[in-house]
């Protein structure tokens, strides 16, 4: 199964839509860079296609002042957790 990376803010809805079209059971989504803003509860609708398999990169959250603001359904991972996700999945796709 695949790991999907999104790095664009929720304003770039197309990245979420196009990733969602190729997201299947067993895939994971990791939000990095400006996609951290999609981890806020207000953006929950955008993450519906990813069926609860959503993580966000902690260091990018912290840099943006978002620690403590993350939706409870989104998992927070550190850089090692990012690498672990790539160990688990044979392939990765980046949506930008």
Partner 1 sequence: MTPSQSLAQDLAELDLIVVLRHAPHGSQWVREGLDVALVAAAFGKRVALLFQGDGVLSLLTGQQAGPLGQKGTHPQMAMLEMYDIETLWVSGSALAQRGLMPDDLMLPVRVMDVEDCRAVAHAQLPTLVF
Partner 2 sequence: MALTYALLVQGAPYTHQAALSALRFGRAVVERGHRLKTVFFYHDGVHNASALMTPPQDEVHLAEGWRSLHRGQGTELLVCVAAGLRRGLLDEGEASRHGQIASNVAPPFELTGLGQLLDAMEHHDRMLTFSP
Q: Which is nearer to partner 2, 26 or 96 (CB)?
A: 96
Q: Which is nearer to partner 1, 21 or 72 (CB)?
A: 21
Residue 11 Cα distances to 21, 28, 64, 90, angstroms: 18, 21, 16, 29
Question: In whole angstroms, what is the distance from residue 42 CA to residue 16 CA?
Answer: 15
* Distance spanning both ends of the chain, measured CA to CA: 20
From the CB of 13, what's the least distance to partner 2, in Å?
A: 17
Interface residue with partner 2 among 29, 31, 32, 77 (CB under 8 A) is 32
Binding mask 71-90 for partner 2 (x = CB under 8 A): --------xx-xxx-xx--x
Question: In whole angstroms, what is the distance from residue 40 CA to residue 83 CA?
Answer: 23
Question: Which tokens in the block code for residue 21?
Answer: 């079209």
List interacting residues with partner 1 (CB under 8 A). 1-2, 14, 17-18, 21-24, 27, 90-91, 93-96
């Amino acid at each position: 199964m695949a790991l999907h990376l999104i790095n664009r803010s929720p304003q770039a809805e197309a990245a979420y839509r196009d990733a969602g079209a190729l997201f299947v059971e067993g895939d994971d989504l990791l939000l990095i860079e400006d996609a951290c803003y999609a981890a806020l509860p207000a953006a929950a609708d955008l993450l519906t296609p990813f069926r609860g398999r959503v993580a966000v990169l902690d260091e990018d959250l912290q840099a943006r002042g978002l620690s403590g603001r993350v939706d409870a359904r989104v998992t927070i991972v550190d850089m090692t957790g990012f690498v672990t996700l790539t160990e688990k999945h044979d392939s990765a796709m980046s949506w930008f």
